[in-house]
Chains A and B, each alone.
Chain A
């Protein structure tokens, strides 16, 4: 069984999406040129999610990848809801009042976000009302709180993450009269998701990370080579500080049982996540909710199962770690990806592959004849060779697709091996998860001209 190159391409490109920040008057004044994103499923259905949106009431753009576990419900909910919580947290008091007044009087709402979605990225219609009410309660509290201070992006991100996780937990406890929704909010709460979100506004780049997805900056050195700068820390057993944090939060008596086989309580890989109320709620609460919940939940062994050594919940938090970075002209791109990518590729290779892809597309050194003696035939040979080089890069029009091709198809020499790629992509559903994880990638390309100009102004 063998996939032809076009078949491989159609699999790889099925979920690819590109967005270019529109030019105004031949110019783009945003520090972001655009982004490419893509996903390759290993689970069926895929448990990863991605989101991208432009904030309309404040400046800036939001991009995020979400890696779900124990189902995709939580990742789906976070991908739909988190950016609204962030956007609302960033809004000035007057705008919040305006929005609340509009809702109160039934007027049209100011649009808060402009989404950039692949057709396969869906929103749940059924839950939108419920989600909206929770969000409204949040901004009403923000209005009442009116600190009067200008919103700090870092704080806004942390508040938004925590608030959304709180709402997920609360909705599951309260339940919903509609049985479909009731089951949905429970599935959301009992599954989990990590989140890695970037907020870009001019030269200010904030990364908020919860869990083991990763943000990496691609930097072009003066000699043209590429290097990678991590803009997030993985929240897992490999991160000593993270292990330290978890241990600090629980009595010394639990020290041994907290992290087993590199997993939280011996079960969970990420040390921070949305949802996963099994690691947050008290045993009593879990039992009560499961028992009063629908039969599907009651029959599910996983939800009924209480983690071992479960003494002092919560063991898990959705609070993100936020890193702020001032963009420089040499910062050419940002890669956000779920652990599916980072398991297979070193960040240095990611930086090089994306960097070469992007520059290969945009700047191949021009040829000049100058005073040299060149014949038409020689020139033709040279040009054909250059074009062949470009077209091999051009096989992918999307940097994320290009990266996935390498992640899945790279052989020991670091080049794409078609046979390997074909085998990896033709694995039957039940086997795929054993060889690879879901991969979700967003590659954001920065506008060095704008960044340079901003720097000069400052």
Chain B
């Protein structure tokens, strides 16, 4: 049956300048290839070794060689494009929720379109378009949100009626549809041939390709890749790229220095049929029916239809077995719900004859996004894998970004959402992965609603207060494996209802969070923020100060006891991290970063701090429980507990002091709250956590203290125009672009990373500007809520996207934060964004196709919030991390 499916190519010999393809007429002759001429021997050394000859490996090779790197060897354990790549459905779809994924898919589409012309290899590229169906209003909203994104990126796309759907496809039953999204440029390809075309082009550019060569492990010396061991000998290399697909996890763990690549394979089924009596046209659009969990494309006059079932079957949990992939069984009973959905969507297919049910394993990741980038522990070890069944859509773009990353040090787009370093060893348990992918795979078709939380793999990292908070009605979300409180359900509320309030409109927790916010404003709240990443950096002499002064943009040579908000910038001045650093003593610093910085920040600093045994850095995240006391009465609670005056005269803003709270000593108290509200952060050695919490709650009673969660924090920080890293800030955003020039000390007397870029920006101006928008004609009760990623229009023209949003209980309005750019009306060229440009525009925010008027602001409403406080108490700006 495989014979019908794709023509297979024999490997023959790959020569740099003259690739010779020989087509096998029949797959049965595959066995005879062993009798063919011996393959070329492996080179002793190369600059880059890529492991994996699927779409990812060939795409990386293609792009690296295009960018001028020639000394590349690609190794494939079996045949090129013979794994998941060969079996996948070949749909190139740009309908993606995450903007970086959308960009990768768009690039792939353009690349594949011209690939046949470039290489002479037939790729089967056919522009068919795709139609995503909505059976419910919620689904239609979700599609409209995607359509908004596609439109502003210049990808043609429209929301159409069921009748228009019927005109696009002759077989489709439209009775249960409420609408659909049509993307006319989406395409079909033969995925194996795309991969072979990329290999051909790479090979012409000098890339050596060796099939039937397995990598057993990667050699590492002093934290750097030095070579690979294969079953055919050793190759020395500087760079290694793991594109091993579903085997990537194991390959990562095969070396002495393990590289965690959290992905897990699941069986994936699709059906192939014989042609219809009147064969289907090859340009008929692909149908995606997410509510039915299926996709349907035309295939050789018949159809190819698969889907993402609710009860996926994970496999290869115990490890790799190359042979098994050939022998996977068809499981019709398992496919039954999808077949029912197919016949419901296209009832006329009843009489169509089955050709085959293909079982093609796909790899999935813990957060449904692919894995890309350099290992945090082994330099020169790059990864591109875990495509969550969208390998063909992402292949071109992902390969390009990774090649840029290797050649230039960083890709041309912000790929943090895909960065391997968003994961740590805590996501590498096989049990965790097995359980999580069983949740992730069905999500491919589930509605993507705001503030969604994974249900599996939870309660891994918890604060010592977890049980206490849980007993008081805490509702939890998870970040980097850490359980964090969203909000507290007051006693007597219906709990079940609240957990099911997943909607695009006003959520059920609205009033609950509102009352927590009110308490933060009027009395005092306590929020457990223990998930923050905490490092201590210290030295015997001045090494710590000198290194940090170089790596951070703000001036850290402050008196002991001061806290500094500062960016950790890259050479282009962009934020690699945004943190608070407290100077504990002359020679030691305490650094607080966002939760998901634990791996990235550690790797960044490790790679840049001098190798000096007198300079030490320690991850103390687990040693401290962090309590945030927010509100005007925080000062009273804390001074009563410590018998120390906490008023601004004695404890000014941005100050840090070790003191006793209750019976516990050695609590690091900092006068910051990450929200712009008055209050304190308490860093408590974990064994005192319960004691201090109890003391705070008991003492706080008379001041009206209550627990609060991150949703309240989020509302507070957004109405105060605080940006947070990972959501608003990324490696492509500089302090100048988000109004944080005051956190940069260009004249601090020594050079620091990113200084030149910032100086240039200071002179020439910025090309985007972080702006706050207040929605004007938005009805909180009736209208769709903004989330993030909504297009911003200025005077009717697209100027950027929002990055986060929240309802401000103080303003009683929605606040969106986002970046505004200035495109030349004629050329589309990016121009400098000035304050006047921001201020002199009429703005609208597009929420799922509906535009709402918005007022733009470059500075927060300080007077509105701080009327009771003196100016010097106000934390001028801060950062927030969620």
The interface of chain A, by Cβ under 8 A from chain B, is: 26, 364, 366-369, 373-377, 379-380, 383-384, 386-387
Partner of A376, one of B273, B317, B331: B273
Complex Cα distance A369/B358, Å? Answer: 11
> Are B357 and A376 in contact (CB-based, < 8 A)?
no
Q: Mark B328-344, 1 if CB is under 8 A from A, else 0.
A: 01111101100110110
Closest to B273 in A: A376
Are A376 and B333 in touch, CB under 8 angstroms? no
Choose the segment among B348-356, B388-396, B665-673 that binds chain A (4+ C-beta atoms closer than 8 Å): B348-356
Please tell me if B649 contacts chain A, counting CB pairs below 8 Å: no
Measured CB to CB, the nearest residue on chain B to A387 is B336
Q: Is the CB of B329 within 8 A of A366?
A: yes
Taken residue by residue from 311 to 341, chain B's Cβ proximity to chain A (1 for < 8 Å, 0 otherwise) reads as: 0000001100000000001111101100110
CA distance A448 to B351 in the complex (A): 43
User: What is the CA–CA distance of A384 and B349 in the complex, to the nearest angstrom?
Assistant: 17
Closest partner residue, chain A, to B330 (CB atom): A368
CB contact between A383 and one of B330, B339, B353 (< 8 Å): that residue = B339
Which size bracket describes the interface of B in this complex?
A: 20 to 34
Indicate if the CB atoms of A375 and B318 lie closer than 8 Å.
no
Contacting residues, chain A, for B317 (C-beta < 8 A)? 26
- Nearest CB of chain B from residue A390's CB, rounded to whole Å: 8
CB distance from B337 to the nearest CB of A (A): 9
Enumerate chain A residues within 8 angstroms of B354, measured Cβ to Cβ.
Answer: 369, 374-376, 379
Q: How far is B357's CA from A383's CA once the two chains are assembled, in angstroms?
A: 14
Contacting residue for B352 out of A364, A376, A383, A386, CB 8 A: A376
Closest A residue, CB atoms, query B350: A377
Instruction: Give the distance to chain A from B347, nearest Cβ to Cβ, in Å.
Output: 9
Across the interface, B343 reaches (CB within 8 A) one of A369, A376, A386, A387, namely A376
A364 to B331, CA, bound (A): 11
Q: Which residues from A are CB-within-8-Å of B331? A: 366
Residues of B within 8 A of A (CB): 271, 273, 317-318, 329-333, 335-336, 339-340, 342-343, 349-354, 356-357
Tell whether A380 pairs with B333 under 8 Å between CB atoms, given A369-B357, A375-B350, A375-B353.
Answer: no
Determine the distance from Cα of A369 to Cα of B350 in the docked complex, in whole angstroms: 16
> Assuming A369-B330, A384-B336, A386-B333, is B343 touching A377 (CB within 8 A)?
yes
Assess whether B340 is in contact with A380, with CB atoms less than 8 Å apart.
yes
Q: Which of B342, B351, B354 has the most CB of A within 10 A?
A: B354
Give the chain B neighbours of A366 by CB distance below 8 A.
329-333
A74 to chain B, nearest CB (A): 40
Cα(A373)–Cα(B273), bound, Å: 11
Closest to B271 in A: A376
State A114–B74 Cα separation when bound (angstroms).
55
Contact residues in B for A364 (Cβ distance below 8 Å): 333
* Residues on the A chain within 8 Å of B329, using CB: 366, 368
Complex Cα gap A377–B331 (Å): 17
Q: Is the CB of A379 within 8 A of B332?
A: yes
CA of A283 to CA of B330, assembled, Å: 74
**How far, in Å, is B343 (CB) from chain A's closest CB?**
6
List, in ascending order, chain A residues with CB within 8 A of B357's CB: 369
Smallest CB–CB gap between A414 and chain B, Å? 27
Chain A residues in 8 Å Cβ range of B350: 375-377, 380
Q: How far is the CA of A369 from the CA of B332 in the complex (A)?
A: 9
In angstroms, Cα B343 to Cα A384, docked, is: 13
Bound: A320/B349 CA distance, A: 66
Q: Which of A369, A374, A375, A383 contacts B336 (CB 8 A)?
A: A383
Closest 9 CB pairs of A and B: A377-B350, A383-B336, A367-B332, A374-B354, A376-B352, A376-B349, A375-B351, A375-B353, A369-B354
A178 to chain B, nearest CB (A): 35
With both chains docked as a complex, state the minimum distance between the C-beta of B32 and any C-beta of chain A, in angstroms: 25
In the bound complex, do residue A369 and residue B356 qualify as a contact, i.e. CB atoms below 8 Å apart?
yes
How many whole Å from B75's CB to the nearest CB in chain A? Answer: 30
Contacts of A377 in B (CB 8 A): 343, 349-351
* The one of A369, A373, A376 that contacts B342, using a Cβ cutoff of 8 Å: A376
Residues in A neighbouring B352, C-beta threshold 8 A: 375-376
Closest beta carbon of chain A to B738's beta carbon, Å: 48
Interchain Cβ contacts under 8 Å between A and B, 6 examples: A367-B333, A368-B332, A376-B271, A377-B349, A377-B350, A380-B350
What separation, in Å, do the CA atoms of A375 and B349 have in the docked complex? 9
Smallest beta-carbon distance B439→chain A, Å: 18
CB of A224, distance to nearest CB on chain B (Å):
19
Partner of A26 from B318, B333, B340 at Cβ < 8 Å: B318
Q: In the complex, A371→B239 CA distance in Å?
A: 48
Cα A148 to Cα B335 with chains together (Å): 61
Min CB gap B274→A, angstroms: 9
Please give me the residue from chain B that is nearest to A390 by CB atom: B333
Contact of A374 among B335, B340, B349, B353 (CB under 8 A): B353
**Distance from A119 Cβ to chain B, minimum over Cβ atoms (Å):** 20
Contacts of A374 in B (CB 8 A): 353-354
Considering only CB atoms, which chain A residue lies closest to B329 in the complex? A366
Expressed in whole angstroms, the minimum distance between the Cβ of A376 and any Cβ of chain B is: 5
**Distance A137 CA – B332 CA, assembled complex (angstroms):** 61
Min CB–CB distance B432 → chain A (angstroms):
13
Known: A26-B318, A376-B273, A376-B342. A387 touches B333 (CB 8 A): yes
Which residue, of A367, A376, A384, A386, has the highest number of chain B Cβ atoms within 10 A?
A: A376
Cα distance, A367 to B331, chains bound together (Å): 7
**Shortest Cβ gap from A34 to chain B (Å):** 19
Q: B267 to nearest A CB, angstroms?
A: 13
Task: Knowing A364-B333, A367-B333 are in contact, say whether A380-B339 is a contact too (CB < 8 A).
Answer: yes
Given A368-B329, A369-B357, A375-B352, 10 new contacts (CB under 8 A): A367-B332, A369-B330, A369-B356, A376-B342, A376-B343, A377-B349, A379-B354, A380-B340, A380-B343, A387-B336
Q: Which residue of A lies closest to B351 (CB)?
A: A375
How close is A161's CB to chain B, nearest CB, in angstroms?
42
Q: How far is the CB of A351 from chain B (nearest CB, A)?
A: 26
Q: Nearest-CB distance from B249 to chain A (Å)? A: 15
Residues of A within 8 A of B332 (CB): 366-369, 379, 383
A364, B342: Cα distance in complex, Å: 24
Tell me the minimal C-beta distance from A368 to chain B in angstroms.
6
Most interface-central of B318, B332, B336, B349 (chain A CB within 10 A) = B332
Q: How far is the CA of A46 from the CA of B344 in the complex (A)?
A: 50
Q: Is the CB of A383 within 8 A of B356?
A: no
CB A27 to nearest CB in B, in angstroms, measures: 9
Q: Tell me the bound Cα distance from A373 to B339 in angstroms.
A: 17
Bound: A367/B349 CA distance, A: 20
| Distance, CA A305 to CA B332, complexed state (A) | 68
Give the residues in chain B near A386, CB-CB below 8 Å. 333, 336
What's the least CB distance linking B295 to chain A, in Å?
Answer: 16
What residue in chain B is nearest A371 (Cβ atoms)?
A: B1
Minimum C-beta distance from A39 to chain B (A): 30
Chain A residue with Cβ nearest B357? A369
Using CB atoms, name the residue of chain A closest to B356.
A369
A368 to B335, CA, bound (A): 12
* In the complex, residue of chain A having the shortest beta-carbon distance to the beta carbon of B317: A26
- A83 CB, min distance to chain B CBs, angstroms: 31
Smallest CB–CB gap between A394 and chain B, Å?
A: 13
| List of A residues within 8 angstroms of B351 by Cβ | 375-377
Contact B353–A373 (Cβ < 8 Å): yes
CA distance A201 to B805 in the complex (A): 60
Question: Within 8 Å CB of B342, what residues of A?
Answer: 376
Give, as a whole number of angstroms, the nearest-CB distance from A373 to chain B: 6
| CA gap between A39 and B689 in the complex, in Å | 47
Q: Nearest CB to that of B434 among chain A residues?
A: A26
Alpha-carbon distance between A369 and B333 when the two chains are bound, in angstroms: 12
A398 to B336 Cα, complex, angstroms: 25
| B343: chain A residues within 8 A (beta carbon) | 376-377, 380
> B539 → chain A, closest Cβ, in Å?
44
From residue B299, how far is it (CB to closest CB) to chain A in Å?
14
Is B339's CB under 8 angstroms from A376's CB?
yes
Rounded to whole angstroms, the CA-CA distance of A377 and B317 in the bound complex is: 35
- A29 → chain B, closest Cβ, in Å? 15
Query: Max chain A CB contacts within 10 Å: which of B273, B343, B353?
Result: B353
CA A380 to CA B318, docked complex, whole Å? 34
